[in-house]
Amino acid sequence: MKAIRVFFVGGLISYRALFNWISPGTYLLTMLGGPLFQLLFFTYLGRYSHLRSDSFFVVGNAVQASAMGGVYGTTMTIANERQLQTLWSLMATPSNRLALFLGRALPNVANGLVVSGFCFLAGRVLVGFDPPAASLASIALVVSVAALSTAALGLVLGAVGLRARDVFFASNLVYFLLLLVCGVNVPLSELPGWLRTIARGVPLTHAIEAARRLADGASLGAASGLLWRELAIGGCYAALAYLLFRIFELEARKRAALERM
């Protein structure tokens, strides 16, 4: 029970402590404004170029928008513990490390779902995106898995941020690399072979493909293989993040390494 409480309550308190200062206007411009204009830009560019349908771009960009919370938010949640000099107090607690670490991703997963849902709604209102009503629940499930897998990637970056000087540049780089390699706006078949290989091993690629199939009318069963692959990739990144976290914690206890900025 205590580990469950640390997972849910600890993650929420940490999120509020780190981000409660953000004004609603800043949140709207940063978390919603950027993804919205990204979706509109690529959708209208796709119309002009006749590359793919509006649905292709709306689904790709709306699912990728879940990475706003997953990559940026989760990275900052972990790395800022060091920047704000609260990390040692956190390390001194006897709480379950897995619950303590993974719980910090949960509010950012919820944030990613909000941003992605907003983008799907904007696609419906502004560009006429109209998937089958029966597919909406399945698409929501796919977005949830995408938010989890990108949050796992954010945990890896956050863990690296316990030692690196500037992990925020890395989070920006990773976010835009996901935009490039995951088939968000360019079909995977058009990418070079080595980029397609990278795409198969990072979050979002399989989730975007699954969401597109569902938006085209396929059943959840037909996309379940892609969904399981996305979950497996997210699980691998989460395991790597926890391993890095434990390694850096053990090193820090020996060398006070986490105090080196």
Q: How many residues does the chain have?
A: 261
Phi and psi, residue 191, nearest 5° = -85, 155
Of 164-168, 198-202, 211-215, 234-238, give the lowest mean pLDDT range. 164-168
Question: Does the predicted TM-score (pTM) go above 0.75?
Answer: yes
Question: Residue 203: which pLDDT band, with cuts at 50, 70 and 90?
Answer: very high
pLDDT digits (tens, 9 = 90+) for 68-119: 888 887 887 777 776 666 666 666 676 677 777 777 788 888 888 999 999 9
Question: Rounded CA gap, 113 and 106, in Å?
Answer: 11
Question: Residue 204: which pLDDT band, with cuts at 50, 70 and 90?
Answer: very high
Tokens of 55: 């649905």
Number of domains observed in the structure of the chain: 1
Q: Could you list the residue range(s) of the whole structural domain that residue 114 is in?
A: 2-259
- Listing DSSP states for 18-33 in one string gives HHTTS-HHHHIIIIII
pLDDT digits (tens, 9 = 90+) for 140-193: 999 999 999 999 999 898 888 777 777 778 888 898 899 999 999 999 988 898
Range 51-55 average pLDDT: 88
**CB-side neighbour CA atoms (13 Å) of 116:** 33
- Is 12's pLDDT higher than 90? no
**Residue 6: per-residue pLDDT:** 63
- Listing DSSP states for 133-188 in one string gives GGGHHHHHHHHHHHHHHHHHHHHHHHHHTTT-S-HHHHHHHHHHHHHHHSSSSS-G
Question: Rounded CA gap, 113 and 116, in Å?
Answer: 5
**Residue 90: per-residue pLDDT:** 66
Cα 192–chain centre separation: 24
